[in-house]
Amino acid sequence: MKLWMLRALVLGAWLVGGGVRAAEAPWRSLFDGKTQAGWAATPFAGAGEVEVRDGTLVLNQGILTGVHWTNEFPTVDYELSLEAQRVLGIDFFCGLTFPVGPDHLTLIVGGWGGSVVGLSNIDGDSANQNATTSLERFESGRWYALRLRVVSTNVSVWLDERRIIDLDTRGKRLSLREGEIERSKPLGVASWSTTAALRQLRWRPIAAAAAAPSADAGRPPAPAAALPAETLTAMDRLVSGMLASRGGWDRLAELCDTFGARPSASPALDSAVDWILARMRDDGLENVHGEPVAVPRWERGTESVEMLSPRRERLPMLGLGGSVGTPPGGISAPVVVVTNFAELSQRAPEARGRIVLFDVPFTEYGQTVRFRTQGAVEAAKAGAVASLVRSVADDSLRTPHTGAMRYEDGVPRIPHAALAPEDAGRIAREVARGRPVTLRLEMSASERGTATNRNVVAEIRGREKPDEIVVLGGHIDSWDVGQGAQDDGGGCVAAWEALRWMKKLGLRPRRTVRCVLWTDEERGGRGAQAYREAHAAELPRHVVALEADAGTFTPLGFGFTGSDAARARLAPVHAFLGDRLGAGKADSRGVAADIAPLLERGVPVMSLHVDRARYFRVHHTEADTVDKVDPEALARCSAAMAAMVYAIADLPESLPR
C-alpha cells in the first residue's frame, strides 16, 4: 500500500467523524495465517528458522530471530496489535520495532531474564532502566494481547487491555539500541534466545481528532508541596548524626571479619543472620524476626584450570554458580575463542569436542552478563565439552569473577567457569597468532539438595499510619569468595543504620519503616519472592521499596520507578539530598533484583545510585573485602537512605501509585 493511500485513509476517517471525534478505522491484517507474505526473515547472525505453523508466525529459538515488514508503513497516527506467546526459552518473546515519526523504538516484552517490559531507548536508556520499565509475570504457552498506539506526542502500550506504557515523547530522545536490531526497521518483530509465536498481527490508522493530545497531555505534574518543617528537621538530624559516626563501618567490619563469605544455604550465612537479629534487638528495633526461605545448596568444591599448551601454566579461575563439575580427572581439550553468540553459531563445527572461551569485553553489565548466564547453554548446543567466559568486569587485577549461570532443559549440561580478563585476552591472542591453546579444566562442583535460609526483618513502627510501610534493604547473602562487603554487606548495613539512627534520635515517622535483608539474591532471588508471597496482603499498603545493591561508594542520588505524580512529590527530597550530601540526582532507574517482585505487584521501587567506577574491580571476587569500603562513603550512603525513607514515611499524604 502506498503512503499517500495511508494518508488518505487517515484524512477520510477524520472527515467522516466530522473532525470532532474519531471514527475508528477497520483493522487491516498484516499476517494471513498461511504465508509470510509481506514479511521477510531479518538477517540476524545466529538466527533461528522462521516458519508459519498452525496459523501462527513462529520465530524459532536462535540468538536473535526476527521478521521485518517489506511494504510501506505509517510513521505516526496508527495503532498496531498482535498476540504473542513464549513457546520455549526465558527471554523476550516480542521485540517489536516500530516507527515514531522520524525515529524508531523497540517494545521489549519479557526481556532481561523473562519479565521486563519497556521501550528502548528513551534518552539513551534501555527498556530495563527508563520511565517505561515495568515487570510482568509471563507464562510459557499462554497468549498475550498487545496493542500499540503511536501519535505525534505519545506512545501507549496495552497488555491484555491494561495500559502499561503511557509515554509523552515531547522533549525526549528516541532511538534504537546499537547493533543488529537496526535491521528490523521500519517495522519488525524479534525474539532473543526464545521460540516465540505470533498471530493476529494487524494495524489501523488513527483519525486526526483521535490522535490529538488532550489539553492536559504533556503538562508537567503540579509542583510538589514543600516538606513539613518538622520532617526537614528530622532529616537534617539524621544526616548530621550519621555523617559524624563510624559505627556503620565498624559493624560491617565485624560482620565480614566474623563470618566471611555468606553463600546461600551455608552455615556462615545462618550464623550471620543469628548475629544480626541479636544486634537489631539490642538496638531496640521493633518486630525483629527471621522469615524462612527454602534455597538450593550448591557447593564449589575444588577447581582448577591449567594451560597445557603452548606452555604449561596454572590460571586463576572461578567456577560459576550452579555449574556441574567435570568427570574425575577433568576435561582436557583445545580451545576455540569466540566474541559473541552469533560467531559461535557460525563456527559451531569448530566447537564440537572443544572448550569454548567467550572472550567478550565488558560494555555494560546487562549486556555482557549474558555470556556468563547463557554461555554454557549455547556452547553445549554447538557440541562443546566445557565453556569459559572472560570475567564480567571493566577492571581487573587478574581476579576472576564468579556469578550465576543457568542450564536449559534438553541441552547437555557442561561445566562453566570464569577466567580473569587478562588470561582470556592472552588465550585469544595466542589463538590469533596460530598457536593452538589446550586447557585442562577440573571442577568438583555440585548441587547438594536444599536448605532453609532466612530473610531478616526489623521495623520502626509508624506513629500515625503503622499499617502503611516503607521498605528499605539489601541482600544479606553473598558469593562464596571474598567477604561480600560491597556486594551487598554494605547495602545491608546502610539500611540497618537508617533504622538504628531513627531509634537513637527518637524519631518516629507517620508510617512504618521496615528494613528487610533478603537472602538468596545471588542464586535466584528466592528470598525476594518469599517476602512478596509472605506479605501479599500488605502489598497494597507498601508505599515504596528501596534497595541498595550497587556497592556503597559515594552516593549520587536515587532512581525511582513509579508514577509521575509520585516522582514529583519526591522533588523536595532530592533537593535536600543534593544540598546536604551532593546526592540529588534523580532518574527513573529504580528497579533492583530484590524489589523487582514487589514492582510486579504494583509497589513503586527505588534504588540508591552510587559512583560505581570501582565496583566491578571487586564484584563477585576474592577481593570483595571490607577494606574496599570507605567509611565516609558508607556513612553518606546510610544518611542518604535514612533521609529518603524518613521523608517518604513522614509525608502527610502517601505517594500516589
Give per-residue pLDDT as tens, 140-186.
Answer: 999 999 999 999 999 999 999 999 999 999 999 999 988 889 999 99
**Where exactly are the structural domains of the chain?**
3-211, 229-295+451-649, 301-444
Q: Is the dihedral of CA 242, 246, 248, 251 positive or negative?
A: negative
**Contact indicator for 442, 302 with CB cutoff of 8 Å:** yes
548-588 pLDDT, tens digit each: 999 999 999 999 988 889 999 999 999 999 999 999 999 88
The secondary element (H helix, E strand) that includes residue 331 is strand 331-338
pLDDT for the residue 10 = 38
Instruction: Point out which residues pair with 66 in neighbouring strands.
Output: 190
Q: What crossing angle do the helices spanning 267-282 and 247-259 adopt, rounded to 10°?
A: 150
CA atoms within 13 A on the CB side of 539: 19
Region 3-211: CATH code? 2.60.120.560
301-444: CATH, from 3.50.30.30, 3.30.1340.10, 3.40.120.10, 3.40.50.2020: 3.50.30.30
Output the CA–CA distances (angstroms, integers) from residue 402 to 73, 114, 625, in the order listed: 46, 22, 15
pLDDT for the residue 23 = 53
The per-residue DSSP string of 213-246 comes to PPTTTTPPPPPPPPPPHHHHHHHHHHHHHHHT--
pLDDT for the residue 235 = 98
Instruction: Report the distance separating Cα 318 and Cα 523, nearest Å.
Output: 15
pLDDT for the residue 218 = 47
pLDDT for the residue 215 = 46
Tell me phi and psi for residue 393, to 5 degrees. Answer: -160, 145
What does DSSP assign to residue 63?
Answer: S
**Contact indicator for 91, 406 with CB cutoff of 8 Å:** no
Catalytic residues: 521
170 torsion bin: left (phi>0), alpha (psi -120 to 50), beta (else): beta
pLDDT for the residue 276 = 98
User: 281-296 burial, b for 16+ CB within 10 Å, e for fewer?
Assistant: eebebeebebbebebb
Reported residue count of the chain is 657
Where does residue 43 rank: exposed (0-12), middle (13-18), buried (19+ CB within 10 A)?
exposed
User: 614-647 burial, b for 16+ CB within 10 Å, e for fewer?
Assistant: ebbbbbbbbbbbbebbbbebbbbbbbbbbbbbbb
Give the CATH fold of the 229-295+451-649 domain. Aminopeptidase (3.40.630)
46: nearest Cα among 65, 67, 66, 72? 65
Question: For the chain, what percentages of helix, strand and coil (3-state, to nearest 5) are there?
Answer: 30, 30, 40
Output the CA–CA distances (angstroms, integers) from residue 541 to 464, 465, 472, 512, 604, in the order listed: 14, 10, 15, 10, 11
pLDDT for the residue 446 = 96
96-135 pLDDT, tens digit each: 999 999 999 999 999 877 888 999 999 988 898 888 988 8
pLDDT for the residue 653 = 94
| Farthest CA pair distance, the chain | 82
120: nearest Cα among 173, 79, 166? 173
pLDDT for the residue 395 = 86
Strand spans (E) along 60-153: 64-69, 78-88, 94-100, 103-111, 116-120, 134-135, 143-151
Q: Nearest 5°: CA angle at 295, between 113 and 473?
A: 70
Q: Is the dihedral of CA 208, 211, 212, 215 positive or negative?
A: positive
What does DSSP assign to residue 537?
Answer: G
54-89 pLDDT, tens digit each: 999 999 988 889 999 999 999 999 999 999 999 988
pLDDT for the residue 224 = 60
* Helix, strand or coil, per DSSP, at residue 442: strand
Q: Residue 8: how many CB atoms within 10 A of its CB?
A: 12
Q: What crossing angle do the helices spanning 229-243 and 571-581 adopt, rounded to 10°?
A: 30
Instruction: Report the distance separating Cα 114 and Cα 465, nearest Å.
Output: 36
Name the stretches of the chain with pLDDT < 50.
1-22, 209, 214-218
Work out whether strand 605-610 and strand 555-561 pair parallel, antiparallel, or are unpaired: antiparallel
pLDDT for the residue 115 = 84
